[in-house]
A and B are shown apart, each in its own frame.
Chain A
Amino acid sequence: MRIILQKGIFLVGVLLLSHLVQSQDITGKVSDATGPLPGANVVVKGTTNGTQTDFDGNYVLNNVNSEAILIFSYIGYQTLEVAVDNRSVIDITLEQDAQALDEVFVVGYGTIKKQDQTTSVVSVSSEDFNRGVISSPEELIQGKAPGVVVTQTNGEPGAGLTVRVRGGKSITASNDPLYIIDGVPIDNTSAVPLPGTGAAGTNQSTGNPLAFLNPNDIASINVLKDAAAAAIYGSRGANGVILITTKRGQSGAAKLSLDYNTSVGWVRNRYDIYTAEEIRNLDVEAAITDSGADTDWQDEVYQTAIAQNLNLAMSGGGEGNAYRASLSYANNEGVLQNSGLERITGRYNVNQSLFDGRLELSSNITASRINRSFAPNEQLGGFLGGVLSGLFNYSPTQPVRNEDGTFSNNGTFANPVKLYEDVSDKSVETRILGNISANLKLFPNLTGTVNIGVDHNTGERRNFLARDSQFRPEGFASRITNTRQSKLIESYLTYDKYFGLESRNNLQVVGGYSFQQFDSEGFGASAQDLTLDSFGFNSFASDSDAINPTAFRDRSKLVSFYGRAQYNHDSRYILSAVFRADGSTRFGEDNKWAYFPGVSAAWRIINEKFMDNQSTFSDLKLRASYGSIGNQAIEPYQSLATLASVGQVNFGDNVSQAFFFNNFANPDLKWETTTTTNIGIDWGFLDNRLSGTFEYYISDTDDLLLQIPLPAPADPNVTLANVGSVRNSGFEGSINYRAFDKRDFTWDVGFIFATLKNEVTSLDSSDFSRSEIAYGVTSGEGAGVDNIFRIQVGQPVNAFFGAVFDGLVDGIETYEDLNGDGVINADDRRFIGDAQPDFTYSINSNLRYKNWDLNLFFRGVSGIDIYNNTAQTFGLPTRIGSRNVIRGFIEEGESTTAASRRFSTRFLEDGSFFRLDNFTIGYTLPDGILGFTDSVRFTLSGQNVFVITDYSGQDPEVSAIASSQSIQTQGIDYLTFPRPTTYSIGVNINF
């Protein structure tokens, strides 16, 4: 009893004392330039006493010492400290912090401050994008993000690009990253069909599906590289996630921006082939056919490529809303005739804020139409050849046209100039991508979001072969249309709470649901024996012979639940956990659901007390992450025993369809899983004049989706199963240096690099085992049937496997007898190279002097091998005579009549290079010279200006040309569409 009483007295005393130092309640309102700010933090410095503003921006803080200091903060705004000074009402207006806004990353279902980032995410914003003639968004970040390797397939405008985030991990499933545009995961498969069966002489290209986006509309591109970051996208995240955020308008006065640029491009590095005069004077064993003319077939086949790009954007908005609308037109020619891309893209987005900012509506719509024309550059070894093989198949002594005006014809190969007239190969692609999202603040700390998106993409291929073409006598026409569409509905809740001492603790939790459905269907028909040429690919209506109607349709669905929790203590210790559960129709009955967790943590050492008294470091953060993500990029229905038409047979005068199984049931079929461990350090010295990031990762991909050969009798004789593992590891870094930062003179230099080690670690599972997988063959006359790549445990994927060239005997190739058995055969082969780059790097320099600026961008790759298949085939000396040959690939004494070549080390070359990818000189008119404009800027750009390389082909940067046994081959250079050197001039005017 006495004890209780004593305690009571003590309590009263404390209360009295505290009253003496004048505690009081403080109220007020926090706003920004446009109105009240709900959810802003108000906290008493040095205490845990804090609160958040309500929907009207009002707050109440109890028991605040009259001497106390209040801290007002809100994401994206400058933090303010205000002394109470005996006031009881304190109204505050926070100002937006432009710097802070820039430092916010989109990471999937939310944003995160760069300084708080715990995973491997790289962001490239529009001012750092590549410049010049850009056909598709991936080109914007080529060489700009460490570990993200963007390779152009070839020089065709808008050609497909290979994008690999930290190297390819899958052997047969796709290695393409997941693309997300303003929160909508999009289907990145081209809707443009391949040419119809029988459309000989055509190009196998379908173009890049992302080319529908206008590069000028993009504000930033973020890449989620490690598993802990990408795990929020679960079974689609294994190849990295590329988040594209488009530009949005800002409330206020309307702004108008006009960009125009025009360019010329040409083939800088031509093939070194004989001229007519040289051919005539050759002293060789082979007989020389002299048709009397003097033709430079390269002049006939190449053209100067003209490109024009026009972009118009306007933006603005009133109170509570903002819009941006843009229209762009691009017309890019290729350096081969008949090739080009014409694109019109319109984009509109609007943000509307309602109910005092409690409801934010946002909508985006992009509509685009792309017309492409493909050059008849048959890469895949048709006997008549395409325009590029025509360079070597036609003797320079052969005229383009005979005296009577008809095209010359050497009887065996297609005259390349005639090909341009005979073969028409076009596509039309229409894509509409739209989404609308609503963001509702349910409570000050809790926001609900609903996002609905639709992507509709239709592509039509139109092929026509003239009636007198060598490929299809009597002509051929086909039209094939594919439609790919997806629908997305997702909703999630975001909880964001500050608490503890000075509200220095923050907990952010996101959780939600997503449903996406993908539909794909197509129809096509062709006609032969055309009545007239003049109807082109519309020949169906005339009495031509219609053949081969085709149709297909498929569907898949993805249902997901996901969540992320991030706890931040005092911006020093940050912990994050992420989880996604994906249910995919594509997988086996027993494995429909996949679960992907990730955890990560960061320690911001720079914010520790012990770092207060130093000035060397301006930033220092250690971070580590671990997580798993999946790859579900296989076609639908692969786990089912499905039955379909396998062809037709003649029964007498009738045609019967033949039906059989085209797939075996595999109820255990599941996703590939990639588990990544990532450690990183972010650092800055001297007030961040020197800053950068270093990272190291190991990622293991297990349960690879492999085509497993089944022992006979089995039809089909392969099945898809989860077998084997691949390990990727690498060291990545970026270093930025602000060398000068004066008013009139700034110079920034950036260097980024990445290493990549790729290794197959297993080809076994409990059911199946493979000792090796051989795939890929060379192209061209006498092409080998021996596979040139081999996948084997301990080797990288895309490792070349072949004979070792051992010089010439009697003018004919010989190879080393590797096993010493006295016979040279298929057993005398070994691993001879690797088509994946070991090291990629780039150097970026930005120089500004008064109104002039200069940007230089260099990019390099080393430790990569390329097989020069063009040299093997078109450097063959037996071509001397009635055809032509590339010089420089004939060894002294190689027979001009008997030489033949096999795949060996002879034409396997080091494909390392260092190139000036881009330079841009800009001049901005001094303010006020043109009164009606805000700014006027002129630019001169050069792309692909020079390449330093030992590679003897035209360009060392080649990409996949074909797939063999469902594996994409890499590093084969065969009649690659030449990559142009391009110079452009442009003007940008802002009103």
Chain B
Amino acid sequence: MKKLEKLKNVLFATVFVFAGCTDLDEELFDQTEGSTFFSDDREIELGIASVYQAFVLLPDHFNYWLLQELSADAVFIPIRGGDWDNGGVHLELSGHTWSTDNPAIDGAWNTLYQIVARANSIIATIEAQGELNAVQRAGLAEAKTLRAFSYWALLDLFGTPPLVTDAFIDPNNLAGNATPEQLFSFVETEILSAISDLPAISSERGRVDKDSARAVLLNLYLNAETYVGAPRWADVISVADEIINSGQFTLVTDALPNNHGANNRESSENIWVLLNSPERGIASSMHFAYRSLHYNQDVQYDLPGGGWNGYSTIADFYNTFEENDARKKWMVEGPQFNPDGSQIFTRDGFELDFTLDIPAERLSGEALEKAGVRVLKYDNRGANLVGSEYDVDYVLFALNEVILAKAEAQARLGSTGEAAITINPIRVRAGLAPLATATVEDVYDERGRELAFDAKRRTDMIRNGTFISETWTFKTVSQEFRTVYPIPQPQIDANPNLVQNPGY
């Protein structure tokens, strides 16, 4: 019985010893408490990397690229049987009838504001360091440039999105709409202040330097009249000249493949690119070849599984290219053959032959899989491909666009002869005859071809007054308010201080 008494003691001891254990602090292992992070330069670098990382989705399907191209006159996505219907969200972009819950509108907003949110946090953290060292100053300038890019794109797409620079949002004091003037002035001020601390040439490709920041500023000035009603053509020329004269960039001899094909990382023309390395397991949105090419072009284009048979060009746009324009190879037309010379067939057994004519929004019959010349500005051939992504870098800004902006400003200011001199290297490279004079319309047309599928077209059409009033395949004259997209419905739901853009 003595043993039993001891056992009793053990039992009571167990009860009380363990009852004392009421520590409920969480132990973290593979993540860290945010409040103590970003305290040294190394951690700040990791934070800045997160701002760059947020750019990855911009060229994705339901995102920035689609908003800039599908509502314009170059790209169309017909419904092919069950494919590319998606409840009509593509057609409503093409036909300028988009609703406030279109997924591309939501996608672009979220990506751009994710960049803003991350930049806001990093900027606040760096600014809280007090006296800044060189690494911190450069980091601050980088983060501000990335944020300014994002606010420029938000201004361009949405007109009156909220302008927030605080690291943390207060749910009881949410920001309302900003005016275009506020956004314009914010982007301009931020870029101008950042340029001085940015390196002339970024130490690592993919990071912003002075010229990347200038490219943003250039686009802001180029569209100043659209944004705030006051043109800044002279500023366009001076910023363009700063970039051109930096000596960093040259027009490459052949834009494809050098700028948009495999190994375009070496291109001397590209100013700011999103680097893609799916083979290193880094997420990217580079699957343009899949989005456009046919299901059965897997062998021809070395696309495992075959393409998704979507993105096509509109005939009228295709016809703006002269017969011998070298840039036509950004599009895939006509009959398609395997490398061994054998004809490729559609899934219904017709010879695969991409036709210019897209007979209907909703295709049927033989046209089902064939209609539409395909878009292949980012060629996957020769690139490393993992899953459906390949390691061609996505170009945000390049020298050709700077040249075209300068030429446009010159033409707008009446110097059509100087504009021609500016623009001719681009025409010559494409195999076209040089111009003696270049009018605003000449530059507009050249820009349309040179920057085809580069996510510039919607902005260019608005600036040139063609976006609303002109009609093209499956697009009639649209409502005036469609020059800006609506603020996505989920944002209006989540923030009572936001007012929807007029018309929506």
Give the interface residue-count category, chain B: 35 or more
Residues of B within 8 A of A359 (CB): 4, 7
B275 is contacted by which of A198, A383, A650, A900 (Cβ under 8 Å)? A650
Chain B window 198-221, contacts with chain A (Cβ cutoff 8 Å), 1 for yes, 0 for no: 000001111100000000000000
A193 to chain B, nearest CB (A): 15
> B81 to A900, Cβ gap below 8 A?
yes
Residues of B within 8 A of A827 (CB): 99
B47 is contacted by which of A660, A662, A710 (Cβ under 8 Å)? A660
Given contact pairs A652-B206, A826-B99, A898-B368, A646 touches B53 in the complex (Cβ within 8 A)? yes
> A489 to B18, Cβ gap below 8 A?
yes
Bound CA span A450–B16, Å:
12
- Near B by CB (< 8 A), chain A positions 625-684 give 636-637, 640-644, 646-662, 665
Chain A window 695-713, contacts with chain B (Cβ cutoff 8 Å), 1 for yes, 0 for no: 0000000000000111111
B117 to chain A, nearest CB (A): 4
- Interface residues of chain B, those whose CB is within 8 Å of chain A, are 1, 3-4, 7-8, 11-12, 14-15, 18-19, 21-35, 37, 43, 45-47, 49-50, 52-54, 56, 62, 79, 81-89, 92, 97, 99, 101, 103, 109-110, 113-114, 116-118, 120-121, 161-162, 164, 169, 171, 174, 203-207, 275-277, 280-283, 295-296, 298, 304-306, 308, 345, 347-350, 362-366, 368, 386-387, 490-491, 493-495, 498
Given contact pairs A448-B11, A768-B171, A900-B81, A644 touches B30 in the complex (Cβ within 8 A)? yes
| Closest Cβ neighbor of A710 among chain B residues | B494
| Closest Cβ neighbor of B162 among chain A residues | A712
19 A-B contacts (beta carbon < 8 Å): A200-B387, A289-B348, A355-B1, A358-B4, A438-B11, A489-B14, A491-B11, A648-B280, A648-B281, A662-B31, A708-B494, A711-B162, A713-B114, A715-B113, A715-B114, A717-B114, A782-B82, A881-B347, A883-B347
Residues of B within 8 A of A710 (CB): 169, 171, 494
Bound CA span A384–B89, Å:
24
- Interface residues of chain A, those whose CB is within 8 Å of chain B, are 197-198, 200, 285-289, 355, 358-359, 383-384, 410-412, 438, 440, 442, 448, 450, 470-473, 489, 491, 493, 512-513, 515, 521, 528, 547-548, 551-557, 559, 561, 583-586, 592, 636-637, 640-644, 646-662, 665, 708-715, 717, 767-768, 770-771, 780-786, 812, 825-827, 873, 876, 878, 881-883, 895, 897-903
> B116 to A712, Cβ gap below 8 A?
yes
A358 to chain B, nearest CB (A): 6
> A881 to B282, Cβ gap below 8 A?
no
Given contact pairs A412-B306, A642-B32, A897 touches B386 in the complex (Cβ within 8 A)? no
B206 to chain A, nearest CB (A): 5
> A287 to B349, Cβ gap below 8 A?
yes
Bound CA span A712–B22, Å:
39
| Closest Cβ neighbor of A659 among chain B residues | B46
> A641 to B35, Cβ gap below 8 A?
yes
| Closest Cβ neighbor of A513 among chain B residues | B19
> B46 to A658, Cβ gap below 8 A?
yes
Bound CA span A491–B8, Å:
13
A712 is contacted by which of B89, B110, B308 (Cβ under 8 Å)? B110
Given contact pairs A470-B304, A640-B33, A643-B33, A650 touches B83 in the complex (Cβ within 8 A)? no
| Closest Cβ neighbor of B52 among chain A residues | A649
| Closest Cβ neighbor of B338 among chain A residues | A411
Report the 3 A-B pairs with minimum CB-CB distance, sorted nearest first.
A898-B364, A652-B204, A712-B113
> B169 to A711, Cβ gap below 8 A?
yes
| Closest Cβ neighbor of A409 among chain B residues | B298
B266 to chain A, nearest CB (A): 12
Bound CA span A389–B364, Å:
23
> A473 to B32, Cβ gap below 8 A?
no
Residues of A within 8 A of B304 (CB): 470-473
> B283 to A647, Cβ gap below 8 A?
yes
> B205 to A652, Cβ gap below 8 A?
yes
Bound CA span A197–B278, Å:
12
> B277 to A655, Cβ gap below 8 A?
yes
Given contact pairs A554-B29, A659-B49, A711-B498, A515 touches B18 in the complex (Cβ within 8 A)? yes
Residues of B within 8 A of A583 (CB): 22, 24
Bound CA span A651–B52, Å:
9
A637 to chain B, nearest CB (A): 6
Bound CA span A908–B34, Å:
46
Given contact pairs A411-B295, A659-B49, A661-B34, A712 touches B28 in the complex (Cβ within 8 A)? no
| Closest Cβ neighbor of A559 among chain B residues | B22
> A657 to B49, Cβ gap below 8 A?
yes
Bound CA span A583–B23, Å:
9
A785 is contacted by which of B15, B29, B32, B62 (Cβ under 8 Å)? B62
Residues of A within 8 A of B366 (CB): 287
B348 is contacted by which of A287, A384, A513 (Cβ under 8 Å)? A287
Bound CA span A200–B120, Å:
37
| Closest Cβ neighbor of B283 among chain A residues | A647
> B282 to A411, Cβ gap below 8 A?
no
> A898 to B81, Cβ gap below 8 A?
yes
Residues of B within 8 A of A585 (CB): 24-27
> B34 to A450, Cβ gap below 8 A?
no
Given contact pairs A710-B494, A714-B113, A491 touches B275 in the complex (Cβ within 8 A)? no
> A642 to B28, Cβ gap below 8 A?
yes
A643 is contacted by which of B32, B92, B114 (Cβ under 8 Å)? B32
Residues of A within 8 A of B22 (CB): 559, 583
> A878 to B81, Cβ gap below 8 A?
yes
A953 to chain B, nearest CB (A): 18
Residues of B within 8 A of A708 (CB): 494
Given contact pairs A554-B29, A771-B493, A659 touches B109 in the complex (Cβ within 8 A)? no
